[in-house]
Homo-oligomer: A and B are copies of this chain.
Amino acid sequence: MTRDELFRQIRLKRSFLCIGLDTDIEKIPEFLKKEPDPVFSFNKAIIDHTHDLCVAYKPNLAFYESLGAEGWRSLEKTVSHIRKHYPEQFIIADAKRGDIGNTSGLYARAFFEKMQVDAVTVAPYMGEDSVKPFLTYPGKWVILLALTSNKGAADFQYFTSAQGEMLHEHVLKVSGIWGTADQMMYVVGATKAQSLEEIRKIIPDHFLLVPGVGAQGGSLEEVAQSGMNEQCGLLVNSSRAIIYASDGEDFAQRARDEALNVQVDMEELLLEAELL
């Protein structure tokens, strides 16, 4: 999917919501566990009830790998379901991969050829040749970790050079020449709006994937104020607050209610920014 097409979807849906499919077998409604593939059944219901309110789905690989080959199969089925019924959706494999060049090439094959998602999250620690293989697929995206929303982000991402540059800023600057804003996005946590503003100065054009709104304490309004650009430039992720809104038979409808609340707020922010 191109950047223009993504922006078109954002205007069409009046939403820049990404729903995180962090589907934990231990947290899904009890009655679903009788299904042959409970994880897929859960995902399918969530997707069928929310697809018109979001522009992206982001399964986190850890949740599927924790179930072994069976979990991997549930993930493949989930991606196929979205591809078949909602081809306008942007699908992100939240995998945080990264390895030496030829090995990253195999991860790219796994996610872009075998599974046919649109984007993969990648960790920057191993540098250029660990990221480049993902950039050889036309229309596919790398979403590079820059500043994450967790507590441990402080351990290394703020490590500062003699010139006063922080590691995450260095990652943004160095990686900026590896690919264009039509191939790369960045993960930037919502927990520090000031950082988001600084980051926008370094990369004005790139889309940012923003976790940490809601459950982790970030404010959607602050994120929009600090991070929006003229193509919106934001995908704001929400996982638990939406998909686990209820653990009863009404879980999918309640997930829709939560997603709708977020979409309504996003529509307002898009209108304020004169993007609709």
Q: Is A60 an interface residue (CB 8 A)?
A: yes
CA distance A66 to B109 in the complex (A): 6
Q: Is A155 an interface residue (CB 8 A)?
A: yes
Q: Is A124 an interface residue (CB 8 A)?
A: yes
Q: Is A78 an interface residue (CB 8 A)?
A: no
Q: Are A62 and B106 in contact (CB under 8 A)?
A: yes
Which residues of A32-56 have CB atoms within 8 Å of chain B's CB atoms?
none
For A163, give the chain B residue with the smallest CB separation.
B162
Q: Is A86 an interface residue (CB 8 A)?
A: no
CA distance A114 to B63 in the complex (A): 12
**A104-136 interface code vs B (CB 8 A; 1 in, 0 out):** 101101100011000000011111111100000
Please pick, from B22, B24, B60, B174, the residue contacting A156 in the complex, using a CB distance under 8 A. B174
Hey, which chain B residues are within 8 Å of A275, CB to CB? none
How many copies of this protein are present in the complex? 2
For A160, give the chain B residue with the smallest CB separation.
B161
Which residues of A159-200 have CB atoms within 8 Å of chain B's CB atoms?
159-162, 167, 170-171, 174
The verdict on A151 contacting B129 (CB below 8 Å), with A65-B107, A68-B115 known, is yes
Q: Pick from A1-9, A94-102, A246-254, A259-267 the stretch touching chain B.
A: A94-102
Q: Pick from A11-19, A69-77, A223-231 the stretch touching chain B.
A: A69-77
Q: Are B162 and A110 in contact (CB under 8 A)?
A: no
Q: Are B62 and A72 in contact (CB under 8 A)?
A: no
Sample of 8 more A-B contacts, CB < 8 Å, known A127-B151, A128-B152, A159-B167? A63-B106, A66-B106, A66-B114, A68-B76, A101-B152, A126-B148, A131-B152, A156-B170
